[in-house]
Copies of this chain bind each other. A is one copy, B any other.
Amino acid sequence: MVEIAVMGHGVVGSGVVEVLTTHRESIARRAQEEIGIKYILDLRDFPDSPYADKFTKNFEDIVNDPEVRVVVEVMGGLRPAFEYVCRCMEAGKSVVTSNKELVATKGAELLKIARDHNVNFLFEASVGGGIPIIRPLHQCLAANDVIEIAGILNGTTNFILTKMIRESMSFEDALALAQKLGYAERNPAADVEGHDACRKICILASLAYGKHVYPEQVHTEGITDITLADVEYAENWGGVIKLIGQVKKQTSGKLQIIVCPMFVPAESQLSSVDDVFNGILVRGDATGDVVFYGKGAGKLPTASAVVADVIDCVKHFSSRKYLFWEDGSKDYVEDYMEDCVSMYVRASAADVNLSLLNAGTIFGGVTRLIRRDATADEFAFVTEKMPEKEISQKLKELTALGVQVQNTIRLGDF
């Protein structure tokens, strides 16, 4: 029997307890050990829980108990999660977490502590919920150079965009529906402004390229500026708008990494990832494109990923799993203004035809997009591929000629 502790009894934490209980037998078979929950840490009271006798409000009970060999951290946030996780590993316990903020901001540091104390620090559930992605990326693609990762990493924004695309719902209405259904928080900023997706692409990039990328290094745009007009233009272009986290390694060794809405071509496997689902495309030099698809969040999917990590810890007390990346550095990420992209531009002007002519001249040719209900002063086009700073400069020239740029969205190339 291996004793574990679960820190946090919210949605994921209670799911972990549930999965460990309902799948006790098959888990014991696979782990080759029974797994028992000795403590559940939460400041709240759960007097009616069948696990009432396991609850504690005192972290010291867990860290000082030598019987506890694996600790699950599902509290979320950095405080006190970071301190607790450090102390558990320093005390010789392996840690499993679903906390993407913790991994995205402190991953390199925590992996080093794990290595120094010969314990495991695993975080499959931090990206993609129940979708296996961390382990396949690390193990199965070991014999590949990862050329690119592009993913729909946030289910809430994907639900909102799907409603806008499929049912012509406005952003505001779709957000309200997502909140009503429990897919979005009352304060939806972390989702709709792209911060959640940013943390996840940071984790994937750090793992794929072996060096930490911090969220503040990643240019991040959300979906709050997307309108139904943009959705219609995307359709006319031949695709859909998705919030994408993307990373590529350049020949210089620097990373190109961004989180923003993109036009995704209908042929792309990511274009059919709808509702609260996530999809992650990994482009390897040997494997070609591999896509992982599933529910990116939710109690049981996330809990089952946590429990799979717990099983892995139990199977690897003797030989630590080699999962590591080094500290990041300030100049590791290329300024996104240097990235070469094609851009969709929606704009308005008194003279649309003249403005399109001007756009063509300034950009060296553009492709016009149309939509049925465009107002008389509205137009849209996509540019050729060029460094984003050039696009920015050229849009200023266009503005000087009486054009108001309403929105710009990058075109995906995957």
Contacts and interface: CB of A to CB of B under 8 A. Distances in A.
Nearest to A315: B322
A316 to B, nearest CB: 7
A145 B24 CA distance: 11
B23 A284 contact: no
Interface residues of A, number: 50
A8 interface: no
Interface stretch (A134-142, A214-222, A237-245): A134-142
A279 to B, nearest CB: 8
Nearest to A321: B315
A365 interface: no
Q: Considering residues A284, A291, A315, which has the most beta carbons from chain B within 10 angstroms of its beta carbon?
A: A291
A32 B135 CA distance: 17
A182 to B, nearest CB: 16
A187 interface: no
A124 interface: yes
A334 to B, nearest CB: 22
B27 A308 contact: no
A181 B322 CA distance: 41
B295 A289 contact: yes
B286 A303 contact: yes
A19 interface: yes
Interface in A19-69: 19-20, 23, 26-27, 30-32
A35 B130 CA distance: 33
Oligomer: number of copies: 2
A140 B308 contact: yes
A295 B287 contact: yes
A102 interface: no
A140 B140 CA distance: 13
Contacts of A404: none
A132 interface: yes
A311 B140 CA distance: 9
Q: Considering residues A19, A31, A143, A292, which has the most beta carbons from chain B within 10 angstroms of its beta carbon?
A: A143
Given A269-B272, A293-B269, A295-B287, A308 B30 contact: no
B294 A288 contact: yes
A246 interface: no
Contacts of A311: 139, 142-143
Given A143-B305, A287-B300, 12 more contacts: A20-B143, A31-B142, A135-B139, A136-B140, A140-B308, A272-B272, A286-B300, A287-B301, A291-B291, A292-B292, A315-B322, A319-B319
